[in-house]
């Protein structure tokens, strides 16, 4: 690694833009391909966020279930001939699929760190082909992976993609492989080596005629659910309320590399009413990133929220802690994007850190049980709406038309209504365009106006918990061996630092 490239973040003036509605097509056999998503419970989501911050039928939808273990979302694929099983971290904030190899230092460790995620061994595949050695990705904390771009056969669901390009991390400091599904313009070989983009997974599905549009939708389900869903080329209308509202992707680096939209308002809604942050703080760009466990907002806004929820910020671990009883309070954060608004209930923002290896519980000095708060300061980075936000939103990422459609999610729905996303404009089903949406925004608030929110702890819990006592200045007490690190940093969405 000879150096690191930091991309400059260009601010822009607010423009008006008219978006088209998505056209959804109901077919007996939609062209949709899907993964089931599984949530993986990781010991240290904060530290993981730090590492990430970088930089079938005649209708076509690809469906995949997502594993959902508390903080990260995974799907299962195979690579090679014969197939080698891998569990991949699904990530809208990056664009390359990269995997570990069994000979890497981290995976050859006797602790078998890569056993769950799996590895790919090119020597065991008869369909493997090496392309070049240009893959080299470094995250903000210095971790990353380096190795070769290769091609091989990728399989999942009923899909087979031959000669699919991906990367093999012969040198890696992450035990999990990543399946990046962002813009192809954010691939490492494009950003680092100024090469032409290759067909990453969404584009390869389109090129293979498995789907009709380079677009996909994600439903993460609630914090307690173990499964979610991603549909390539389609939406599941049973999983959201009302209609999808479409807003444009905004450029934040003089080009569209990140799946970012303009956040135009934020408020806190309680039984006593709704308090809004001053309009002078908006709009600003936010990246919608499944690869980020937490939500990262500008410091001026985060500080106000911390005061309202009696959060204690620990800079050593990059985490904000709140009393776990806060999850019982009747309060919601309302995020507005020109017209659509998504409400996130307080219980989705309060994350249990679990117990230490010796069975200890994280507590404040006064004995109150402590939980991780789902919002953290973005500091000098672009704001990120991570999984603590995305669980409450049904999101359609339309890479073909540079648009994102949002609706309030329906939790724990078991029925399905799969609709195909048609090609061209207006392709997303049950979506309406927003009139004159904000199409460009600064990466930080244009003003630093503050407001004073009524402390949530003065409200009455909706369950039988007692009012939360103030814990200001009292960081949780832990044994030294407690596995901390749940939040700060992975504000990632494509924010890779490309090592030269």
Catalytic site positions: 91, 289
In degrees, rounded to 5, the angle at the alpha carbon of residue 229 between the alpha carbons of residues 227 and 234 is: 165
Q: Are 135 and 66 in contact (CB under 8 A)?
A: no
- Specify the DSSP element, H or E, that contains 442: none
List phi, psi (to 5°) of 191.
Answer: -70, -45
| Burial class for 16, CB neighbours closer than 10 Å (0-12, 13-18, 19+) | exposed
In sequence order, what are the beta bridge partners of 297? Answer: 377
List phi, psi (to 5°) of 390.
Answer: -65, -25
In the chain, the N- to C-terminal Cα span, in Å, equals 6
Residue 243 CA: distances (Å) to CA of 9, 85, 263, 314 = 33, 37, 19, 40
What does the CA dihedral 280, 92, 296, 250 come to, rounded to 10 degrees?
-20
Return the structure tokens found at 49: 């966020």
Cis link prior to 82 (omega < 30° from 0)?
yes
Sequence-separated (6 or more) residues with CB below 8 Å from residue 396? 22, 215, 216, 217, 235, 244, 404, 405, 406, 421, 428, 431
List phi, psi (to 5°) of 230.
Answer: -125, 135
């Amino acid at each position: 690694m000879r150096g690191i490239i930091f991309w400059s973040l260009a601010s822009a003036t607010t423009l008006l833009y008219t978006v088209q509605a998505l056209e959804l097509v109901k077919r007996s056999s939609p062209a949709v391909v899907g993964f089931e998503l599984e949530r993986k419970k990781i010991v240290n989501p904060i530290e993981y966020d730090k590492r990430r911050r970088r930089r079938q039928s005649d209708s076509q939808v690809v469906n995949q279930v997502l594993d959902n273990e508390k903080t990260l979302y995974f799907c299962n694929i195979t690579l090679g001939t014969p197939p080698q099983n891998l569990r991949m971290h699904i990530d809208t904030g990056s664009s390359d699929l990269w995997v570990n190899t069994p000979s890497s230092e981290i995976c050859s460790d006797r602790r078998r760190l890569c056993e769950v995620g799996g590895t790919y061994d090119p020597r065991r595949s008869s369909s493997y082909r090496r392309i070049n050695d240009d893959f080299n990705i470094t995250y903000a904390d210095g971790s990353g992976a380096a190795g070769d771009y290769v091609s091989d056969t990728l399989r999942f669901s009923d899909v087979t993609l031959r000669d699919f390009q991906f990367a093999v991390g012969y040198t890696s400091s992450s035990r999990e492989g990543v399946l990046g599904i962002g813009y192809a313009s954010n691939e490492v070989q494009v950003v680092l080596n100024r090469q032409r983009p290759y067909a990453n997974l969404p584009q390869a599905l389109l090129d293979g005629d498995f789907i009709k549009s380079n677009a996909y939708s994600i439903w993460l389900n609630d914090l307690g659910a173990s499964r979610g869903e991603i549909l390539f080329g389609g939406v599941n209308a049973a999983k959201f309320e009302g209609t999808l509202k479409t807003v444009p992707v905004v450029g934040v680096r003089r080009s569209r590399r990140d799946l970012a939209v303009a956040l135009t308002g934020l408020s806190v809604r309680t039984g006593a009413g709704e308090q809004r942050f001053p309009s002078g703080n908006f709009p600003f760009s936010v990246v919608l990133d499944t690869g980020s466990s937490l939500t990262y907002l500008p410091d001026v806004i985060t500080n106000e929220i911390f005061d309202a929820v009696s959060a204690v910020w620990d800079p050593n671990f990059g985490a904000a802690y709140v009393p776990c009883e806060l999850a019982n309070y009747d309060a919601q954060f309302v995020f507005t994007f020109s017209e659509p608004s998504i409400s996130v209930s307080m219980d989705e923002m309060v994350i249990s850190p679990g117990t230490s290896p010796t069975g200890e519980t994280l507590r404040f000095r006064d004995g109150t049980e402590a939980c991780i708060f789902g919002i953290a300061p973005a500091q000098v980075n672009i704001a990120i709406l991570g999984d603590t936000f995305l669980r409450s939103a049904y999101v359609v990422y339309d890479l073909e038309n540079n648009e994102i459609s949002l609706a309030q999610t329906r939790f724990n729905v078991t029925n399905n209504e799969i609709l195909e996303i048609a090609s061209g404009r207006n392709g997303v089903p049950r979506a309406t365009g927003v009139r004159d949406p904000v199409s460009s925004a600064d990466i930080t608030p244009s003003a630093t106006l503050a407001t004073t929110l009524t402390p949530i702890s003065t409200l009455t819990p909706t369950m039988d918990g007692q009012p939360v006592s103030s814990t200001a200045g009292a960081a949780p007490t832990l044994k030294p061996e407690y596995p901390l690190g749940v939040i700060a940093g992975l504000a990632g969405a494509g924010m890779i630092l490309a090592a030269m």
